[in-house]
A = this chain, B = another copy of it.
Amino acid sequence: MDWLTIGEVASRSGVATSALRFYETKGLIASERTDGNQRRYPRATLRRVALIRAGQEVGLSLAELAEALETLPHDKTPTKADWERLSRSWRTRLEAQIAELVGLRDELTDCIGCGCLSLKSCAIFNPGDAASGLGTGPRYLLGDSREAVAADS
């Protein structure tokens, strides 16, 4: 196996050396040391770093990634099964994220259609119905919507 210096990993992965050291403190990657105490990374580290970046794109935190990467060997290429497991779960996550945004967009579109200035059912502007307390159901979270509502407080 050949080893890469931190600078090589950095330029080949597009990740700063400071970030790589940071990842190492977090246990996301690992290295051996030379006699002179310099880090030497196994080649598979490039793939690990790529996985980290991809995972971040998908919205995972480094802590979550550390957990996911725990199951992969530090010093050799992950198997196709390893990769499939990760990519499938990440895709699931992506899909959930997409669904959430699409829902938000649709609501926003509805709002545009109605003006949303007094819409009781607007989900965006009535998130979880945190308002009120008067027990009269959804409040006009966007504030006063003329007389009718102004009279409720």
With A54-B125, A117-B80: A101-B98 Cβ-Cβ less than 8 Å: yes
Whether A95 pairs with B105 at a CB distance below 8 angstroms is: yes
CB distance from A5 to the nearest CB of B (A): 11
Which stretch, A20-28, A30-38, A61-69, A135-143, touches the partner chain B?
A: A135-143
> What does DSSP make chain A's interface, helix, strand, loop or mixed?
helix
Q: Which residues of B contact A50 (CB under 8 A)?
A: 124-125, 141-143
Number of copies: 2
Whether A153 pairs with B2 at a CB distance below 8 angstroms is: yes
Please report the total number of A residues contacting B with Cβ < 8 Å.
Answer: 60
Q: Which residues of B contact A95 (CB under 8 A)?
A: 105
Scan A102-140; emit 1 where CB is below 8 A from any B CB, else 0.
101100110110011100000011011011110000011
Q: Which residues of B contact A13 (CB under 8 A)?
A: 130-131, 141
Q: A70 near B: Cβ within 8 Å? A: no
Whether B14 pairs with A124 at a CB distance below 8 angstroms is: no
Q: Which residues of B contact A143 (CB under 8 A)?
A: 43-48, 50, 77
